[in-house]
Amino acid sequence: MSAVHAHRGPPEWRFAWRGLDASGATRRGTLIALDAAAVRVALKRERITVLAIERRASAGAPKARHADVTRFTRQLASLLRAGLPLANALELLALSPGPNGMPRIAAALARDIAGGLRFADSLAQHPARFNALYCQLVAVGEASGALAAVLARLADDRERAAAQRAKVRAALTYPVAVLLLAFVITAALLVWVVPTFKQIFDGFGAALPAPTQFVLVLSAGAARWSVPAAVAAATGTLALQAGLRRSEAARLAFGRALLRLPLCGALLTTLCAARWSRALGTLLAAGTPLADAFDSLAHASGNAFFDRASAGISERLRHGERLAAAMRAAGCFPADVVQPVAVAEESGALDAMLLDVASLADRQVDEKIALVSSLCEPLVIVVLGALVGGLVVAMYLPIIQLGNVV
């Protein structure tokens, strides 16, 4: 795809327009287009008589969410299967209304196709939306004449990955949110409620129980350090985000740390292995040679540690090592993924085996999500009881003891 870097599309601009609709009412709005002529064509299509057009500023790069790209892929596959030529299908998708940037991207792709650029090369002009794996599969589909089938397969894989991400997010978000809420409530009690009890305890003139003394010390510490701690936590979070954006070493260390988390680490490892196996199996099934397939796996797993392992596996393959041995040496693939690959290498059915392994790993991910959810529920209850219940008991223990004395 050498033409990818040489080709640059014309810039788009944001135009403000004023006109009359079919009923004679004045209409105003903004449109993003290459020039004023394109704005007039778009408004004429909506039966608006143009009175004035003013170019405001550069429109910037179009933005679209993961779900928007998936919907575009599914719709384009359907249009191609219905018999529409690629350029016409893209032009039709460019007319779709919506706040996202996919209509602009579709229009740019249609212009590139009309200009003689290959579809895969045109997609590569938008790397933030279409990664190397996507472009590679489209290139294979173009070459084999099965572009509609490849796009449908891509849409299936993206929808499956989105569903898995939603399940993992749901399994992890609930316990994390509840625990954070528990810590916030505990901190509020320590800062505002416990000092009120301290004034009562000072009037007792007697030694306080050890749990109560411990809570009073925590209260004093929270009142003094809560704001600095919150500022430090916010600063640390921003610094971590900046480091992950700028440093490959930081992304690698963070990815490795995620895979070693208790409970969640095994789930994330299986999830990354499933994504990696499905991506490689899909490339091989489409006819991509094994040595070339790894050029499109740079971000297939979604974890920097797995992505680095892909680069290491590719290097070992170039030196003549078998795929299963290279995966085993990477140290991040589960044994139930590596062993079937070793068998498939001997039988010559590597692509089918990788897809089967990915399907099995997907089922394991679902099972582990259910397991993590079932384990998190009692864990949340125990932590909530220890924090809030322990705090209440420590505060009322001196009062109970005083009542017993009386």
Main-chain dihedrals φ then ψ at residue 50, nearest 5 degrees: -80, 130
Assigned token pair, 25: 């009412």
User: 300 near 136, Cβ under 8 Å?
Assistant: no
Half-sphere exposure at residue 381, Cβ-oriented, CA atoms within 13 angstroms = 5
DSSP string, 3-34: HHHH--PPPPEEEEEEEE-TTS-EEEEEEEES
Rounded distance, CA 177 to CA 172, Å? 9
Cβ neighbours for 175, distance < 8 A, ≥ 6 positions apart:
376, 377, 379, 380
H-run or E-run covering 402? helix 390-405
Rounded distance, CA 163 to CA 148, Å? 23
Q: Inter-axis angle of helices 66-81 and 86-94, to 10 degrees?
A: 140
> What are the sequence ranges of the domains in the chain?
3-58, 66-130, 158-406
Among residues 69, 39, 68, 73, the alpha carbon closest in space to that of 56 is found at 39
pTM of the model: 0.70
Rounded distance, CA 111 to CA 108, Å? 5
Rounded distance, CA 10 to CA 8, Å? 7
Hey, which bits of 271-369 come out as E strands?
none
Q: What is the pLDDT along the chain (406 residues), one digit of tens a residue?
A: 333 444 456 677 778 888 888 888 888 887 777 778 877 887 887 788 888 888 877 776 778 888 899 999 999 999 999 999 999 999 899 887 666 688 888 888 988 898 888 999 999 888 888 988 888 889 888 888 889 989 998 999 889 888 888 887 877 787 788 888 888 888 887 888 777 777 777 666 667 778 888 888 888 887 788 788 888 989 998 888 888 888 888 888 888 888 888 777 888 888 888 888 888 888 888 888 887 888 788 777 878 888 888 888 988 888 888 889 999 988 888 888 889 988 888 887 888 899 899 888 888 888 888 887 787 778 888 887 887 788 888 877 777 766 654 4
The torsion angle over the Cα atoms of residues 270, 275, 276 and 279, rounded to 10 degrees, is 160
Assigned token pair, 173: 């978000």
Q: Which CATH fold would you assign to the domain 158-406?
A: Receptor-associated Protein (1.20.81)
